Amino acid sequence: MTIERGLRHALAHDELRLHYQPQIDSGSGRVVGVEALVRWQHPEWGLVYPDRFISVAEETGLIVPIGAWVLRTACQQAKAWLETHGPFNCVAVNVSPRQFMETNLLQTINQTLAETGLPPGALELEITESAVMQDPENTLQVLHQLQQLGVRLSIDDFGTGYSSLTYLRRFPVQSVKIDRSFVIDLPDDEGSKTLVRAIIALAHELKLFVVAEGVETAAQLSFLKSQQCDSLQGYMFSKPVDAELLKPGLMSAE
Ligand code: G
Ligand code: G
Ligand code: MN
Ligand code: NA
């Protein structure tokens, strides 16, 4: 069976799952948000990770219904967390370039928020830097419309694309996520240190919140804290896990 046929089947037969990875406030150690990451629970292949199917979904357009499912499921879960565990910043959902170019993204998001009752400010959309830069003028327009809905916006994989500083300043985003490739060689590699320091300083100048991805070691953590990185995500705190294993708002990583 091809991946494409498998994905159609997965959508129709409820084989997709979301895992959630906590984002930790670097000052308090509290869980302030979670990123939703899709998996495919295949009856024979077992748990299939997105690297195996997101690109096919993107090419075939299946990313649109998959993305809508991810959005609805993540918003339902976040609403449940808000009710049982009290306030937490937000659930972050990845939006692919193709979804971003779809004309009804705005409508899908609006409708999902209305149906689930999640406050818009509790949803964050992660858009990769490369997606943002494919058509920056169009992106700017869509980002402004999304901002008017009250959802939070974040640039994913930051540092790997080629955002001009002009656009970074003009995009109505709240945060940037430093790509894991810059975190992995901290704190020994001088190049990585310089880049991470520069990204954090620049983002803070622009009043953006900074999240570091892929934090695995105490040494990486300590460097990121010394640079006032706002929040942290990585195996050091938790792998992406089932919703039942997380209690955002109540959880502390200290
Ligand atoms: O944990 P990880 O293997 O989950 O994710 C691998 C890649 O797949 C990451 O680049 C991540 O952004 C992407 N990804 C994970 N979940 C989703 C999703 O729901 N939608 C989109 N578009 N990409 C996702
Ligand atoms: O959306 P994005 O490209 O940022 O997806 C995050 C990816 O990074 C997912 O595949 C997730 O499982 C993975 N990931 C999250 N934390 C860590 C980490 O500490 N180390 C490694 N190697 N991967 C991580
Ligand atoms: Mn992401
Ligand atoms: Na990323």
Average pLDDT of the residues of the chain: 91
User: Which pLDDT does position 130 carry in this prediction?
Assistant: 82
Ligand 1: residues with CB < 6 A are 37-38, 49-51, 54, 67, 70, 94, 96, 240
Q: Pick the atom of ligand 1 nearest to 156's CA.
A: 12
Are 159 and 178 spatial neighbours (Cβ–Cβ below 8 Å)?
yes
Q: Pick the atom of ligand 2 nearest to 213's CA.
A: 16
User: Which pLDDT does position 254 carry in this prediction?
Assistant: 41
Q: What is the mean pLDDT of residues 11-38?
A: 95
Kindly give the distance from the C-alpha atom of residue 35 to the centroid of ligand 1, in angstroms, as a whole number: 10
Q: What is the mean pLDDT of residues 8-31?
A: 95
Tens of pLDDT, residue by residue over 22-31, are 999 999 998 8
Are 81 and 33 spatial neighbours (Cβ–Cβ below 8 Å)?
no
Residue 34 burial by Cβ neighbours in a 10 Å radius (0-12, 13-18, 19+): buried
Q: What is the mean pLDDT of residues 84-110?
A: 87
Are 22 and 30 spatial neighbours (Cβ–Cβ below 8 Å)?
no
Kindly give the distance from the C-alpha atom of residue 174 to the centroid of ligand 3, in angstroms, as a whole number: 15
Tens of pLDDT, residue by residue over 149-177, are 999 999 999 888 776 677 788 889 999 99
Cα–Cα distances in angstroms (integers) from residue 8 to residues 36, 44, 48, 62, 68, in the given order: 21, 16, 15, 8, 14
**What angle do the packed helices 3-12 and 63-85 form, to 10 degrees?**
40
Residue 103 has pLDDT above 50, yes or no: yes
Q: What is the mean pLDDT of residues 33-59?
A: 95
Concatenating the DSSP letter of every residue in the chain gives --HHHHHHHHHHTT-EEEEEEEEEETTT-BEEEEEEEEEEEETTTEEEPGGGTHHHHHHHSTHHHHHHHHHHHHHHHHHHHHHHH---SEEEEEE-HHHHHSTTHHHHHHHHHHHHT--GGGEEEEEEHHHHHHSHHHHHHHHHHHHHHT-EEEEEEETSS---HHHHHHS--SEEEE-HHHHTTTTT-HHHHHHHHHHHHHHHHTT-EEEE----SHHHHHHHHHTT--EE-STTT--SB-GGG--TTT-B--
Token pair in block for residue 8: 């159609």
Q: Pick the atom of ligand 2 nearest to 177's CA.
A: 4
Tens of pLDDT, residue by residue over 202-227, are 999 999 999 999 999 999 999 999 99
Tens of pLDDT, residue by residue over 228-251, are 999 999 999 999 999 998 876 555
One of 3.30.460.10, 3.40.50.450, 1.10.1240.10, 3.20.20.450 is the CATH number of 3-245, namely: 3.20.20.450
Residue 7: how many CB atoms within 10 A of its CB? 23
Are 29 and 253 spatial neighbours (Cβ–Cβ below 8 Å)?
yes
Are 65 and 71 spatial neighbours (Cβ–Cβ below 8 Å)?
no
* Nearest alpha carbon, ligand 2 atom 11: 240
User: Which pLDDT does position 250 carry in this prediction?
Assistant: 55
For the ranges 1-5, 38-42, 85-89, 140-144, the lowest mean pLDDT is seen at 85-89
Q: Domain residue spans in the chain? A: 3-245
Rounded Cα distance, 47 and 40, in Å: 6
Confidence of residue 72 (pLDDT cuts 50, 70, 90): very high
The verdict on pTM exceeding 0.90 is yes
Phi, psi of 205, deg, nearest 5: -60, -35
For the ranges 84-93, 136-145, 161-170, 179-188, the lowest mean pLDDT is seen at 161-170
For the ranges 84-98, 134-148, 156-170, the lowest mean pLDDT is seen at 156-170
